Amino acid sequence: MSLKNLNAIKTPKNLLSKLLNKRIRYLFKEFENNFEVKHRFAVAVSGGPDSLALAFLTKVFSIKYNLNCKYFIIDHKLRKGSTNEAKKVKKILSKYGIKLEILSWNGKKPLSNIQSLARKKRYNLLFSKCKNLKISNLIIGHHSDDLFENFFIRIMRGSGLKGLTSLEKKTTINNIDIIRPLLNFEKKNLEFISNHVFNFFIKDPSNENIDFKRVKIRKLISKFKKSGLEKDKLFLTLSNLKSSNNALRFYVDQNKKFNSFFDKKDKKLILNKFFFTQPYEVVLRSFSDSLQIIGGRYFSARGKKIDNILQMIRKNTLKKATLADCIVKKVNQSVIITKEY
């Protein structure tokens, strides 16, 4: 469908006219060629330049392919003015035919580990909304800068192969596909879209707070760039790691397929003794996946906590344990996982 035909559709012309810009048109084409969703989806908006660029790109895409899409912004209520900011983003997007719904995090707020807990709450709110609306595709605005930041953060945590490659283009949790179509986009291009289209984006003050690990990493990467860090080489490293990760994933899937059984009647997952005789990394991942499936959580449990339970299983000292909203019991030579209510 040409720009002329797009403009023929009943929609705010001030949105589609932005495609007259050569750079915007090129970036949309790149987005279109890599965005494979062909049915209704939800978009997570934050008000930052990356998410506003995503709002524009997905809206134009939805118009071109006649798709139903929903837009949501989370008001964490963690700092003064967040509610007004969310309302401002909603008002600006509405001028371009983008209907944004505000989802609020009400209740007591944490005093420590704020960013991590806020991220978990954000996904919980988005997942809940998607399930209520029967939407199976959630679009997130992670870009190439996020990819590299995540890589270095995981290195500092001592993460394994799975952690180092955790930002995938598509991740499926609880029957919802989390899709990241901007992983090949640089932040500067997303800022250009946001400025050119909306002449607006929110600057989150927490992005300058060096008390947060992600901000420290961001500043460290900036220094690396000045010293000659090449993004192409980082992409190659991540690509090689992903290839190794995919090979390992094959054996994890085989272990779950042949050595576990889900009892639909009693809603419990039964792991037989052979489940735990595989190489340790295969067992660790298989067990982690099992906890996520039964517990219904987006984030997996910490590796150290999983390792503690696996050690008890190996030493035959486990009777009952709770982890990641699951109850884990040893019964004869099998391990049974049920949901903790």
CA distances from 148 to 145, 180, 246 (A): 5, 14, 19
Give the mean model confidence (pLDDT) for residues 103-124. 83
pLDDT tens readout for residues 26-65: 999 999 999 989 889 999 999 999 999 999 999 999 999 9
State both tokens at 153.
């953060």
pLDDT tens readout for residues 227-261: 776 777 788 888 899 899 999 999 999 999 999 99
Q: Report the candidate in 212, 224, 147, 217 with the shortest Cα–Cα distance to residue 186.
A: 147
Contacts of 160 (CB under 8 A, 6+ apart): 281, 303
DSSP letter (8 states) at residue 230: -
What percent of the chain stands above pLDDT 70?
92
pTM of the model: 0.79
- According to the model, what pLDDT value does residue 107 have? 82
In single-letter form, the type of residue at position 156 comes to M
> Where are the domain boundaries for CATH 3.40.50.620 in the chain?
3-229
Give the mean model confidence (pLDDT) for residues 265-290. 94
d(CA 291, CA 255): 15
Q: Which CATH architecture has domain 3-229?
A: 3-Layer(aba) Sandwich (3.40)
- According to the model, what pLDDT value does residue 8 have? 47
Burial state string for 5-39 with b = 16 or more CB within 10 A and e = fewer than 16: ebeeeebeeebbebbeeeebeebbebbeeebebee
pLDDT tens readout for residues 126-174: 999 999 999 999 999 999 888 888 888 888 877 788 888 878 898 888 7
The DSSP string of 138-204 is EE---BHHHHHHHHHHHHHHT--HHHHT---SEEEETTEEEE-TBTTS-HHHHHHHHHHHHS-----
d(CA 338, CA 242): 31
Residue pointed to by tokens 């002449």: 199
- According to the model, what pLDDT value does residue 210 have? 60
- According to the model, what pLDDT value does residue 209 have? 59
CA 217 to chain centroid: 19
pLDDT tens readout for residues 128-138: 999 999 999 99
Q: Is pLDDT larger for residue 275 or for residue 299?
A: 275
Answer whether 285's CB lies under 8 Å from 277's CB. Answer: no
Is residue 95 over pLDDT 70?
yes
End-to-end CA distance of the chain: 50
Q: Which CATH architecture has domain 233-339?
A: Up-down Bundle (1.20)
Q: Report the candidate in 129, 118, 142 with the shortest Cα–Cα distance to residue 176.
A: 129
Confidence at 208, pLDDT banded by 50, 70, 90: low
